[in-house]
Every structure is written in structure tokens, then in C-alpha cells.
Amino acid sequence: MPYPPLVKYDTVDEYRQHYERKYCRGAISTFDYISVRFRKNRFNHCFFESCKRNQQKDQFSRLRAERIDWIKAALQDPSAELYVGWDKRKRAYDNSRRVAVAVNNYVVVIRLTGQQGAQFVTAYVADSPNTIKRIRNCLKWHQKKQ
């Protein structure tokens, strides 16, 4: 499945407007018919990073932002690897979170809210070998039968 080209804007506001226009006006359906909703307040969580690795997202990430259109592509990609999310606070798997690993280790996380509904959590490039290894060591996601 071909992924869209990178999106190039000059300002954070242009990326924010693109996100709100493309994602926040209605749900996006995954390849397996989960309706994913996007909230405006997830923009900062998704497109900012912690420059000090201290959980404070204080630096805009052009690497993440340029792949803004990949979120939809990854959700709709039936060849993406799917895993059960990990709750680091509880140190346990969280069956309400689904992690998709798509092309070039692009990761999209959603949180299931009902039988066929979900909320977008975040998306990023797993650019560290340790990060992608940890994800791939998680339980495989198995879609529940309808």
C-alpha cells in the first residue's frame, strides 16, 4: 500500500490546521471497520516531543508532523502489524489500546471506546531499535469476531 508524500509546512499552526481539517471533522474507519475519532487536544501530544526525555512535550517534531497524512494510511493499511498496547504505569498489557506498526516503523496508537469505536492517541516514528523491539515483543492483536 503506497503511503502519501510527506507534508511540508512552514509553521506549527499550518500543521495544526491540517490536522483539524483532515481528522477532527469526522471519524476515520480502519481497514477492519473501527471508527476512530480525533480530538483537537491530541495535536500537541502527537506532534511534540520531549527534548529532555522528561515526559514534558516541549519541542515541535517536524519528523512527526511531516507524516501527518500517514496516520490515516496506517489505520487503513491491512498489512500493518497490530499489537496490544502496554500500560507502563500498570506494567501490564492494555487490551483497550491497539498499536499499529506500518511502513518505516511508523506507529499509530488508538484506544478502543466501544465495540467498533476508538479514539486516536498518538503517532510517531519508532526511530530507536529499542522502541520498535519493545513494541514487537508485545502481544499480537487479534480482532474480536463480530
Domain ranges of the chain: 12-136
Q: Whole-angstrom Cα distance, residue 38 to residue 98?
A: 15
- The structure's pTM equals 0.91
CB proximity list for 45: less than 8 A, separation 6 or greater: 57, 121, 122
Q: What pLDDT does 116 receive?
A: 86
What digits encode the pLDDT tens for the residues 5-31?
Answer: 999 999 999 999 999 999 999 999 999
* CB neighbour class for 10 (10 Å; exposed up to 12, middle 13-18, buried from 19): exposed
pLDDT digits (tens, 9 = 90+) for 55-83: 666 689 999 999 999 999 999 999 999 99
CA distance 116 to 146: 10
From CA 115, how far away is CA 126, in angstroms rounded? 28
Among all chains, which residue has been given the C-alpha cell 510517531?
Answer: 124
Q: Which three cell numbers stand for residue 76?
A: 487503513
